[in-house]
Chains A and B, each alone.
Chain A
Amino acid sequence: MTIQSNSSLPAENTAELPHYVSDAEFDLRSVEKLTAEQEKIYFASQLTLMWWKFRQHRVAVWSGIFLLILYFSILVSEFISPWNYQTRHTKHIYVPPMGVHLFHEGEFIGPFVYGLKRKLNLETMQREYRVDAKKTYKLSFFCSGEKYNWMGLIAGDNHLVCAPKDAPFYLLGTDRLGRDMLSRIIQGARISLTIGLIGIAISFTLGIILGGMAGYFGGWVDMIVQRMIEVLQSIPTLPLWLTLSAIMPVSWSPILVYFGITVILGLLDWTGLARAVRSKLLSLREEDYVLAARLIGAKPARIIGRHLVPGFMSHLIASATITIPTMILGETALSFLGLGLREPITSWGVLLNEAQSINVVAIFPWLMLPVVPVILVIIAFNFLGDGLRDAADPYK
């Protein structure tokens, strides 16, 4: 610092200049010192950072909660659904969605449903249902109802809500065999939400390992992996599916067939991801921190897994969350080709498949209700993926 003032120069030999010396200990870094809040951020683990960033994305949080609830529900599907999804009510075929009432003739009697009177309209050949206000069926909660086998393992008969036998308690209507749509949607979620995950798990593992190897080592490893990808991508999927459907033995249980197909789809689906991983790695492996890690003596697996993959985690999360809905839609597509799930297994794809006919669109629109959870889940996954991707790169 230079002083350029002439007028106020102190006179020579004057007394000591008045000054102040702080008693506090000298702290060299006082300027850089972090506030408690900053400290929290700077020393937070990556996961914590992601969580904070994620929390700011309100829609993503709600989507996440919604999905968590759905995934929890599949643990207790049998308990939540009012009927067994396969129970046929032959006297109640194509019943439109019914409401629950609280008051009967001005009097509060708790949740109940009215009876139904059925008329066969021989003019239009439709079953017409009229509410029979004389009959009331009271609903009970946490009760014993139809027997079921929880996950096919444990016998039980507890339901969240039950109606007396023969009561027309169909919140979302019934289908052509008189099966309760609500129960079918609830139980269909179990398959639809979980089965695609297997395919994704397989394709992710393969994609990251093979793509990572190709990108990190380059050379002949890269060559082999690239050629493999090209061969796999050149196989047309439709004839492949048709062949697969032909070789699966009919006596296999439908769920086994579907597992088989998802596994094979997973085995074929990793190529795109492997390419993306490879190209990312090709650029990232030239970074200084990779060189540093290598000089310290880290093994390739550690360098890829610890230093490189987190570098493009956001990309992986984005593709994962896009793939899950694709798998859910894929199940619908496979069912359409007759390769997906079959009765008596129920999934949203199977339900939608049944709703394809023109009759449904025109006369029984409530059979298309399984579209609603499909759309909601896909949107939720997309929002969640959006939030996660932003959160995975919290320093941006």
Chain B
Amino acid sequence: MHIILKSLVTAGGLALLSSTAHAGTPDEPRVVDFKSLERSIGKRGGSIDMLMAKPKDVRWMTVYSGARLVTYDESFQLAPDILKKVENDGNKSFTFHLRKGHLWSDGQPFTTEDFRYWWEDVAQNADLFQGGPPREMLVNGKMPKVEIIDPLTIRYTWESVNPLFLTALAGARPLYIYMPAHYLKQFHGKYGDPDKIAALVESEQVQNWSSLHKRFGRQYRQENPSMPSLQAWTNSTDLPSERIIFKRNPNYHRVDPEGTQLPYLDQVILNLASSSIIAAKAGTGESDLQARYIRFDNYAFLKKGAEEGGYNVRLWPSGRGSEMTLLPNLNTKDEGFRNAFQDVRVRRALSMGMDRSEINEAIFFGLGREASNSVLPSSPLYEDSYANAWVEYNVDKANALLDDAGFDKKDEDGVRLMPDGRPFEIIVETAGEQSQETDILQLITDHWKDIGVKLFVKPSQRDILRGRVSNGETVMSTWQGLNRGLATPEMNPEELAPVSPIQAQWPMWGNFWETKGASGEEPSLPEVAQLSKLYAQWRNASDYNTQHKIWKDMLSIFTDQVYTIGIVSGGLQPVVVSNKLKNVPEEGIWSFEPTSYFGYYLPDTFWLDE
């Protein structure tokens, strides 16, 4: 408390002193509605352990913590969280009201200065954002008018509608439009002491102040223990470390109905272990809350150890559009494969050449749905025709399609020859993180033999794979399906259009959009160009019905053209919860978007009954 007081005094924030009266909560905290969420009032204290595999996994704490400017409420409508109030004027003008007395985790006030700093000194700084402000901030390439009305009120106004803005702020990996100015200014070329910056650039072995600013100012990946945060827990450990301790944020903005400040848990400890043994460790009760790195096929094992390990296991349905997809690279450098995959007949044939029911039976216990990579039935956008597009197992039709596409010659092993004379041997690169992928690919290898296509699996590593994809070096890769399997029309349909070079089915086209045409290639297929066009239209759509229609049009093209070959959807995610940990819902949805994995279920309300 003393430290907080002192820092406040030195910062000249005397006016805010009164706020420290209630243990650091803002004057007008967000009172979490325990009744409608069916949560019990807990008590503060204690610490839980979780298992993670890599130092990079600290990012999941930001996802799990779930504090955002705006978040999704129980009915997936946007509601203010860090903000006290949002006034939305027809998706064109947004007025944000901050909570009075809201402090950063280091005790400094959180004000519109932090928004101004980001907008003027970070987003528009050519050293920090080379390509200009992020796309979500631009409408038709134009920036908003930003008005700072007072320290607690700020307004963003665009000429035309920006339906993306609020959903981006609520994302699992949110758009950050604020930064702790008081802390980061010391690294900024404009504000910082040049000698100090020069010394830091030297000692940190980076190139210039902007790298320094980026390194110390990461908000999504809380790697820097000194970086102030608004999340429920903040990192207190210098990386790299095998044991990363997150401590409660004493100035967190949520309280329970009795006025006790959240989060209940004092500490969340991430213990790093090899991903292959995390299931084994969770099975002996070494984790109090675990879902990452455990898979459906561990369920029986986890269930067996539940009593002894003092935990229980829940099954949460996955919110992904597909548990695994094959991504033919339409922009691969290999001309033969590029031509092949740009031919919709080949993509459809590959999809129809796999026996999804066998995969479902063998890998998913028969509980999955044999469907394309599309939205899930509980999404308001669902149509049977999307889910069933080209998923029927039909070797004859697949063979006919391939013959038709010019793959009608075969070599002595029965492998089709590509029009350029090479055998049609597809190398599928995986991130090598899950043995499930290899099992599924093994089955597909056998299925594709019947359509004269040979498949090789090349396990790689996530970052290497991403790099190879962006460079067009992969021919085909695997990834999970749509993150927004539970999409509503207001959610961003970016996954259906080429918008980013990490989209493994069209990295060059995605790059073209992301760099605003500076690099990459313009989509050459009319259907893909149509998707880009529809996406641009969605960005300008002002009402629900237009958004709904655009989403449907996009889904229809996306599934009919089979840009991604979905295999099985509707997987189940085991969630290990310690018996002592209360308030973890029995039923939930396991998805990155929109539920931020645990984030949507308010882990700050979880408490230990000891």
| A binding-site residues for B, Cβ under 8 Å | 86, 88, 90-91, 93, 120, 123-127, 176-178, 250-251, 338, 342-344, 356-359, 362-363
Contact = CB atoms under 8 A, between A and B. Distances in A.
19 contacts: A88-B362, A88-B443, A90-B358, A91-B361, A120-B365, A124-B304, A125-B303, A125-B315, A126-B300, A250-B456, A250-B458, A251-B425, A338-B459, A344-B442, A356-B276, A357-B279, A358-B298, A359-B301, A363-B304
Given A91-B361, A362-B301, 8 more contacts: A88-B443, A90-B361, A93-B361, A120-B366, A124-B299, A176-B439, A344-B445, A359-B300
A91 B362 CA distance: 8
A177 B427 contact: no
A356 to B, nearest CB: 8
Interface of B: 276-277, 279-280, 283, 296-301, 303-305, 315, 358, 361-362, 365-366, 425, 427, 435, 438-439, 442-443, 445-446, 456-459
Contact of A250 (B283, B365, B427): B427
A356 B438 CA distance: 15
A363 B442 contact: no
Nearest to A356: B276
A125 B300 contact: yes
Nearest to B359: A90
Contacts of B435: 357
B363 to A, nearest CB: 8
B494 to A, nearest CB: 32
A177 B442 contact: yes
Contact of B296 (A125, A176, A178, A363): A125
Contacts, number: 68
A359 to B, nearest CB: 5
A242 B304 CA distance: 37
Interface of B is mostly: helix
B390 to A, nearest CB: 22
A359 B365 CA distance: 15
Contact of A125 (B280, B361, B365): B365
Contacts of A126: 300
Contact of A178 (B298, B362, B457): B362
B456 A251 contact: yes
A176 B443 CA distance: 12
Contact of A359 (B298, B438, B439): B298
Chain B CB count within 10 A is highest, among A93, A250, A338, A342, for A250
B460 to A, nearest CB: 10
A250 to B, nearest CB: 5
Contacts of B457: 342
Contacts of A125: 296, 299-300, 303, 315, 365
Contacts of A91: 361
A292 B520 CA distance: 81
B300 A124 contact: yes
A251 B457 CA distance: 9
B297 A359 contact: yes
Contacts of A344: 442, 445
B51 to A, nearest CB: 13
A358 B301 contact: yes
Contact of A363 (B277, B300, B438): B300
A388 to B, nearest CB: 41
A127 B362 CA distance: 11
Given A250-B427, A358-B277, A363-B304, A177 B298 contact: no
A251 B304 contact: no
B450 to A, nearest CB: 14
B300 A358 contact: no
A178 to B, nearest CB: 7
A363 B298 CA distance: 10
A250 B303 CA distance: 39
Chain A CB count within 10 A is highest, among B358, B362, B435, B457, for B362
Contacts of A123: 303
A338 B459 CA distance: 9
A177 B303 CA distance: 22
B88 to A, nearest CB: 44
Contacts of A343: 438, 442
Nearest to B445: A344
Contacts of A342: 457
Given A90-B362, A251-B456, A177 B439 contact: yes
Contacts of B283: 358, 362
Contacts of B439: 176-177
A177 B362 contact: yes
A250 B428 CA distance: 10
